[in-house]
A and B are shown apart, each in its own frame.
Chain A
């Protein structure tokens, strides 16, 4: 029992829950002192959401690979729904959209369970790329054809293809890797989401210089520097979850932080071009599901490919 609790992955979850407990207690104390403060209320909403997300992840991990793939398929579904709800689409795209939801999304995650691992990497970029514009022909509508086709393909690449690389980490095999495949997924989630949280906190505390005022007015250089730095150090500290060793984990965490920050900015720009502030209202304090997943969509494929290229057997 003692060995089980001290293995890298369970220990990480225990540390996470202790951290959330401290955060909840601090948040409650702050809310009591300043009950009217909107920032504190939002922070407490976010802490509650993190509790829910962490508990759901811990339970799903315990159920194993298939359950985890299914969970990410669901997350992907909600992200795609949020993305396409904000994106203007037309009746003429109805069957292409139906194929994106009912064919390519389930196919992508089912292929993770397929014994031939190469297929999930090409399903959407090759078969989706060719099939979806063909389906957009059904109504014979040529107005804005290229824009319509591009929107659907981009949405699918981002919310389904890119996000599916998070559970795809479970397929990689490494020599001398005691934490097991779930360790690497936990590493990805903790560093990417930890970076978002640390940047938010550092931005609130030290933020002065806007990073990209027209794209994302709340992000600051100080937030990115200190928060991203903290997340990189966190990644180094979590090297026990990875097969990379300390310096490898530190470097990989830096890549994930950079990719995640760019993901957040790109998705902010998309959101703004569509005239919205949040992708949805699903997660208390955060906005929509895609507001939480934007950085992960950019960091997950990078971790998958770099780990696969340099370390996997």
Chain B
């Protein structure tokens, strides 16, 4: 509880991270919040942006290779954020802990790009979001645009700088009957990008080219 207050207080003080509920209300419904990912601070900013009762039953999904590293980071990941740690290279059953958490009734925060992209436009989404959506039709899929977190703590540096960040929370989406996996994933990514475009009309929309393609 104290550590939660410290982490939330520090996040607010340094980077703000105010939530704007544009397309959904902060209710206790089970949800999968999915967001763009540019910074190691994304997890904490989105988690801290939720009102306390929601925050306590919303578990961020985080990469084991980063968050299980070092005693302090591990303490925060497991005891404060109650993160679901996953093995990024683990194939299909890497999703098992997520299915478990959803079956227990928790909400999740996930970053479907599977890693941090090089530019402001999100990378193409990985299929995990689609599989979770099909297996848990009761959970609402809510797109989130995290704004400027990548400036506060960019990839490659370890000290965050104070920049006012925002979490724009959009309207829920769901896979349509008969919709293909790729069509749904494109639509989910578009929903996140649309929120970003509302702040930055000149945001590049297309996903960045993979470097070795």
Query: In the complex, what's the smallest C-beta–C-beta distance from B94 to chain A, in angstroms?
Result: 30
Interchain CA distance A98-B148 in the complex, whole Å: 16
Query: In the complex, what's the smallest C-beta–C-beta distance from B29 to chain A, in angstroms?
Result: 27
Contact with B along A77-105 (1 / 0, CB 8 A): 10011101100010100110110011000
B161 close to A91 (CB less than 8 A): no
Contact with A along B48-83 (1 / 0, CB 8 A): 000000000000000000000000000000000000
Q: A91-B154, A94-B154 are in contact. Are A85 and B161 (CB under 8 A)?
A: no
Count of chain A residues with a beta carbon within 8 Å of a chain B beta carbon: 16
B162 close to A77 (CB less than 8 A): yes
Q: Does B151 sit at the interface, judged by CB under 8 A? A: yes
Interchain CA distance A84-B14 in the complex, whole Å: 12
Query: In the complex, what's the smallest C-beta–C-beta distance from B98 to chain A, in angstroms?
Result: 32
A98 close to B159 (CB less than 8 A): yes
Q: Does A183 sit at the interface, judged by CB under 8 A? A: no
A98 close to B156 (CB less than 8 A): no
Q: Does B163 sit at the interface, judged by CB under 8 A? A: yes
A89 close to B151 (CB less than 8 A): yes
Q: Does A301 sit at the interface, judged by CB under 8 A? A: no
Q: Which residues of B153-196 have CB atoms within 8 Å of chain A's CB atoms? A: 154, 156-157, 159, 161-164
Q: Quick one: closest B residue to A91, CB to CB? A: B154
Chain B positions within 8 Å of A89 at CB level = 151
B164 close to A82 (CB less than 8 A): yes
| Of the residues B157, B159, B162, contact of A81 by C-beta under 8 Å | B162
Q: Quick one: closest B residue to A84, CB to CB? A: B163
Q: Which residues of B3-51 have CB atoms within 8 Å of chain A's CB atoms? A: 16, 18
Interchain CA distance A101-B152 in the complex, whole Å: 12
Interchain CA distance A77-B12 in the complex, whole Å: 13
Q: A85-B148, A98-B159 are in contact. Are A280 and B164 (CB under 8 A)?
A: yes
Q: Quick one: closest A residue to B147, CB to CB? A: A85
B161 close to A101 (CB less than 8 A): yes
A85 close to B164 (CB less than 8 A): yes
Chain A positions within 8 Å of B159 at CB level = 94, 98, 102
Chain B positions within 8 Å of A82 at CB level = 164
Count of chain B residues with a beta carbon within 8 Å of a chain A beta carbon: 12
Chain B positions within 8 Å of A102 at CB level = 159
Query: In the complex, what's the smallest C-beta–C-beta distance from B30 to chain A, in angstroms?
Result: 30
Chain B positions within 8 Å of A280 at CB level = 164
A81 close to B164 (CB less than 8 A): yes
B163 close to A91 (CB less than 8 A): no
A101 close to B162 (CB less than 8 A): yes
Interchain CA distance A127-B161 in the complex, whole Å: 20
A85 close to B154 (CB less than 8 A): no
Query: In the complex, what's the smallest C-beta–C-beta distance from A101 to chain B, in angstroms?
Result: 6
Q: Quick one: closest B residue to A281, CB to CB? A: B18
Query: In the complex, what's the smallest C-beta–C-beta distance from A289 to chain B, in angstroms?
Result: 11
Query: In the complex, what's the smallest C-beta–C-beta distance from B161 to chain A, in angstroms?
Result: 5
Chain A positions within 8 Å of B151 at CB level = 89
A94 close to B157 (CB less than 8 A): yes
Interchain CA distance A82-B18 in the complex, whole Å: 14
Contact with B along A244-283 (1 / 0, CB 8 A): 0000000000000000000000000000000000001100
| Of the residues A81, A91, A97, contact of B156 by C-beta under 8 Å | A91
Query: In the complex, what's the smallest C-beta–C-beta distance from A91 to chain B, in angstroms?
Result: 5
Interchain CA distance A94-B159 in the complex, whole Å: 9
Interchain CA distance A81-B14 in the complex, whole Å: 8
Q: Which residues of B117-170 have CB atoms within 8 Å of chain A's CB atoms? A: 148, 151, 154, 156-157, 159, 161-164
Interchain CA distance A81-B159 in the complex, whole Å: 15
B154 close to A81 (CB less than 8 A): no
Query: In the complex, what's the smallest C-beta–C-beta distance from B162 to chain A, in angstroms?
Result: 4
Q: Quick one: closest B residue to A279, CB to CB? A: B164
Interchain CA distance A85-B166 in the complex, whole Å: 11
From A82, A94, A95, A101, residue with most partner B Cβ within 10 Å: A94
Chain A positions within 8 Å of B18 at CB level = 281
Q: Which residues of A106-139 have CB atoms within 8 Å of chain B's CB atoms? A: none
Chain A positions within 8 Å of B162 at CB level = 77, 80-81, 84, 101
From B18, B154, B159, B163, residue with most partner A Cβ within 10 Å: B163
Q: Quick one: closest A residue to B13, CB to CB? A: A77
| Of the residues A77, A81, A95, contact of B163 by C-beta under 8 Å | A81
Query: In the complex, what's the smallest C-beta–C-beta distance from B12 to chain A, in angstroms?
Result: 11
Give me 11 A-to-B residue pairs in the complex whose CB atoms sit less than 8 angstroms apart, sorted by A's number: A81-B162, A81-B163, A81-B164, A84-B161, A84-B162, A84-B163, A85-B148, A98-B159, A101-B162, A102-B159, A281-B18
* The 10 nearest A-B residue pairs measured at CB: A85-B164, A81-B162, A97-B161, A91-B154, A85-B163, A98-B159, A98-B161, A94-B157, A101-B162, A101-B161
